[in-house]
Amino acid sequence: MKGRLVHVDAMRFRAKADDAPSILFDAGDRGTRKGPSPVQGTLLSVMACTAADVVLILQKERVPFTSLEITADAERATEDPKVFTKIRLHYQVRGNGIKESAVKRAIDLSSEKYCTVGIMLRRGGVEFVNTHEILPME
């Protein structure tokens, strides 16, 4: 994997990995940001990583889900470097006739075996708390 980062202006940076579209990171003031900060990008990356795993696992298991939504809450150290210390991920899976065991298994497999971003953070000492709920189709 290769990447490139270019300073755009102020504290904004355009990042591009391989052949993927570019992403704007903004480490400036919260009120004027035009994109996620690099730390926010890390949290979004772990969410996208586990979401991709969970969707793929549920699809392979032919679980009749219609959507997946993940919300996250992260705690950070109070002193520099202000690394993540704890990340809570809450998975909302929608669909009818979904077995609790299938959702839990997909989340556990992602957390323990497949989600590279989450596993890197865990190895760095970040505590993860995963919760989930199954909701009916809208």
Q: Which CATH architecture has domain 38-135?
A: 2-Layer Sandwich (3.30)
- Determine contact, residues 121/87, Cβ cutoff 8 Å: yes
| Mean pLDDT, the chain, whole residue set | 97
Phi, psi of 52 (to 5 degrees): -60, -45
Task: Tell me which residues of the chain have a pLDDT lower than 50.
Answer: none
| Kind and range of the H or E run holding 29 | none
| Sign, CA torsion 74/65/23/108 | positive
Q: What is the pTM of this model?
A: 0.94
Instruction: Quote the tokens at residue 92.
Output: 């909302």
The ranges assigned to domains in the chain are 3-32, 38-135
Provide the percentage of residues in the chain whose pLDDT is more than 90: 99
Of 42, 25, 26, 138, nearest to 87 (Cα)?
42
**Bridge partner list, 71:** 90
Per-residue pLDDT tens for 92-123?
999 999 999 999 999 999 999 999 999 999 99
